[in-house]
Every structure is written in structure tokens, then in C-alpha cells.
Amino acid sequence: MGDAPVIDDIRKKMRSIPGMDVLLEGEWSRRWQASLGRDRVRRVFDDELTRIRRRLLEGEDVDLSPEPLRRRLEGLLKAEERRRLRPLVNATGVVIHTNLGRSCLADEALSAVADVASGYSNLEYDLDEGVRGHRNAHVEVALCTLTGAEAALVVNNNAGAVLLCLSALAKGTEVVVSRGELVEIGGSFRIPDIMAFSGAELAETGTTNRTHLADYVGAITERTSMLLKVHPSNFRIEGFTAAPRRRDLAVLAHERGLLLMEDAGSGLLVDGRILGLEGETDVRACLNEGVDVVTFSGDKMLGGPQIGVIAGRRSVVDRLRGHPVLRALRVDKMTLAAFEVTMQLYMKGEYDAIPTLSMLRRTGESMKAQATRLAARLRRVTSARVSVVEVEDAVGGGSCPELPLTGWGVAVTRHPLGGAGRLQALLRARDLPVLCGARRLADVDDALVIHVRTLRPGDEKELSAAFGDIESSVKGSK
């Protein structure tokens, strides 16, 4: 008997929920239907009404007055109006941020994408001969020039490049890999899994921290077709370690009639010292040391669009061109356009025109000066404490994980609305989201930190506007 009044109250509130027809016929609702479409608005309404009914059944008190309900629904429709994939401000200091789309494209690459996307192009047409051509032809010569390879092929990403190579070159045979290189990278891409999917059989050798040339010798059988060397993405094993030289592996492979393949991962096309980095071997060096075929990414340290590159001996690469997997992995015209122009920038030595390379090459003096300017700008719009701090940036994308990059940033502390977590949430909620770091300072546990290394043109203005809006909300709440 005691539950009856509660049940009656819930039923009464359920009956007070407006019907779908009533909501869709409202003048304010019709305006949204004109911009989003009636079916899309109906779906948003239906999802929210379902949530309201669930909350009522769980005993929550929900305000179903017309005005609060309308505001709630319009807020959801406004969020629905936003594009799902949106630009944002990267103030994290991670240059090749996988979750944020990795590398930014050069202006010239963006123009090339617009040119080929807005009309027809010679994607698979040979203008000289007047016959069908091959899309790979647009970038192969440039890749061979930059890497020293005899031939090259591109697919949609590096995982696809590894899969194609193993499927075409080692299916049904054994591939020897050091236990220290059986890596897993983002998105659960595991070398043993991709090898099994390709049809190649994994032959492990050595130990996690030490693998010698003799281990490879002992692992080779009459069923072995390849030695595989894998980039240790996102981690490094330090201390008591050992690994054979690349050149010695190449000699061993060729003496036994085997291929030496390397998944170089990061896609470094220049000597790392040009970027102020150590510890990453560039693709040309890999090939010069005898590797038969190298795979690498286009959107990591190379600084281009997402693409997977296969470069090496012509006799090896030619075996891949007719493989049926290649069509499933082929690259679209916009990616090829951006990649071709990025290659051209490399050949002209215009490294700073490529945003990723430019960010990696930044000097401490330029970043400190930028942080100082930004701090002065923010002090004019916020009541929080603003200071210039030295920070630790990162290459990201699984490249140089053991190498921190010294940078500069702006710390925001003692904000009226709270600490770093609260400010990060407010900045993420903007129409142009802003992602910042956080760290402990000497006198503050959770300072919001804006890393200037990864800011793009116009980002400082957006940051100033963001903190100005947050300040206005503080004053409005008083």
C-alpha cells in the first residue's frame, strides 16, 4: 500500500511528458527541422524522452515544465548540429598526437587536396600515352628519390603495408622475429596477430631484452622465408639489452636466401639530427644497410597524410603489385595529392613548411617568447594566475618514446572556477574545443598548462577568447 502513492506520482509525471507530435509541431521545433531535417530532430527527441522516462522510473525528479524541457532539447539539437569530426586546438605539446589526427598537413598539401577533390583528375590515367595508368605512379619516383629505394608502393596505412608484405612474401612460411619486437601498438595492432592473419607463421627467437645474431641463425629452418625487424613503437627497453646490427641481419638473410624486412614505423625521411632527434633510423639508412623492404607511416614523423609506404628492392616490391589484397588497401586521390606535395617539399628541403617537422625543429628561444606573449594576452582577460613555465613535450605517434622535448608553456592556476580538471572540461566544451595539459607546480597541485609548441596560427586568439568567455561566466554567476 505504501508504494501506491509513489507509483501514482510516477504515472502522473509520465502522462505529463509531451507527445512526439506536440514537440514536432512547435514553432521552435520546426526551425530546427528546417536545418537538421525532421527525422534527425525526431530521433533526438525520442532519445531524450526515453532517458526522461528511465529517470522517472528510477525515482529521479525531472522538471517537465515546457520551458526547461525546450531548453534541454534545444541544447541537444545544437550539439547535434555540430560536425562529429571537428578541428580543435592542440595545446598538449604532443606533436604527432594519434587521438588528434597525428600530423597536420602543409598549406601546399591542403591546396593540392582541394584541387583534385573539386573536380576530375588523372588519378589512373596516363596523360602521355592516353591509356589507363596507375595511381601509385604519382608518388613512386619521389619516394625512390628520397629513400634510395629501387621501387616503392603506397597503401592506406602502415598496418596495411605490413599485412600486404607478409601476405605476398611469406604466406605459408616461417618469419623469424625477436621476442623483444613482438609489439602491440594503438588500436590493438599486434605483430603476432597480423602475421597470423596474413598466413605467415611466427618463429620467435631470443629474449625480451637480448637477442643475438646466433639466435636468428638457430631459428632459421628450411621453412623460413624472411627475417622481420619491427620498430619498438611507444616503448624502449633499456639497461641489459642486446640486438644484432641491421647490416649483420642483412648478410645472414642473404647468405641463406631469405628476405630481410623492416617495419620502420615512424617514417623518418631525413637524418634525425636535422630535427634535433636521436634514436630513430631514417628509411634511407635502413635500405643502405641491406634491408630488402621497409614499411613506414606517412602521417608520423614524415608529416604527411595517413598512408603506408613500402620501399625497397624492385624484385621484392614488384611481387606486391598484383596481389589481391592491394586493391582493398589502395589510397584515395586526396591522400595521394597531399602526399605527393609533401614529398616535393622534402625534395626542395623546405622542412619548415611541413607542420610536424616545423614543430619538432622549434627552438627554446622562440617557444619561450611565444609563451611570454600568450601569458601577457591571457592576463588581460582572466583573473586567474598566469605564468610562463618550462614544460616537457613529446614527439608522439610511437616515435622517440624515450626522448622528451624541452618546451615552454603557460600555466593557469588559482582560477575562481576551480583547478585544471574543471578548466579542461570547459575548454573541451567549446565550439572549437581546446585540449591542454595539466601538471603539478611548486605551490599548486593541478595547474592547467598550455604547451605552445603545438599551437597553430590563430590558436592564441582562440585561447584568449576562450578564457575571456570563461571569465564572463564567472562574473555572470556573481
Quick: pLDDT tens for 26-57: 899 999 999 999 999 999 999 999 999 999 88
Ranges of each domain in the chain: 7-81, 89-97+358-476, 105-353
Query: Regarding the domain delimited by 89-97+358-476, which CATH topology (the fold level of the hierarchy) does it fall under?
Result: Aspartate Aminotransferase, domain 1 (3.90.1150)
Segment 61-108, tens digit of pLDDT: 888 888 999 999 999 999 888 888 999 999 999 999 999 999 999 999
Task: Report the pLDDT value the prediction gives residue 1, as an integer from 0 to 100.
Answer: 45
Q: For 228, phi and psi rounded to 5 degrees?
A: -120, 125
3-state SS, residue 142: helix
Residues recorded for the chain: 478
Mean pLDDT of the residues in the chain = 91
CA dihedral of 243, 247, 248, 252, whole degrees rounded to 10:
120
Cβ contact 151:140 at 8 Å: yes
Would you state the cell numbers that stand for residue 453, as one nine-digit string? 609548441
Please determine whether the domains at 89-97+358-476 and 105-353 fall in the same fold group of CATH: no
The owner of cell 589510397 is 331
Measured over the CA atoms of residue 109, residue 111, residue 112 and residue 118, the dihedral's sign is positive
CATH for the 105-353 domain, from 1.20.910.10, 3.40.640.10, 3.40.50.2300, 3.20.20.70: 3.40.640.10
The stretch 372-397 carries a mean pLDDT of 94
Can you list the alpha helix ranges (DSSP code H) found in 82-157?
A: 107-117, 137-147
Can you list the alpha helix ranges (DSSP code H) found in 180-296?
A: 191-198, 213-219, 246-255, 283-288
Confidence class for position 442, pLDDT limits 50, 70, 90: confident
Select, from the ranges 1-5, 9-13, 183-187, the one with the highest average predicted confidence (pLDDT). Answer: 9-13
Task: Report the pLDDT value the prediction gives residue 62, as an integer from 0 to 100.
Answer: 84
Please report, in angstroms and rounded to a whole number, the separation of the first and last CA atoms in the chain.
Answer: 47
Tell me which H or E stretch contains 39: helix 38-57
Window from 142-151, 267-276, 356-365 with minimum mean pLDDT: 267-276
Separation of alpha carbons 290 and 255, rounded Å: 12
Separation of alpha carbons 114 and 109, rounded Å: 9
CA dihedral of 397, 403, 406, 410, whole degrees rounded to 10:
40
Measured over the CA atoms of residue 295, residue 149, residue 155 and residue 268, the dihedral's sign is positive
Separation of alpha carbons 415 and 384, rounded Å: 4
Residue 473 pLDDT more than 70? yes
Residue 300 pLDDT more than 60? yes
Separation of alpha carbons 469 and 345, rounded Å: 40
Strands 293-297 and 308-312: antiparallel
The stretch 247-266 carries a mean pLDDT of 95
Confidence class for position 299, pLDDT limits 50, 70, 90: very high
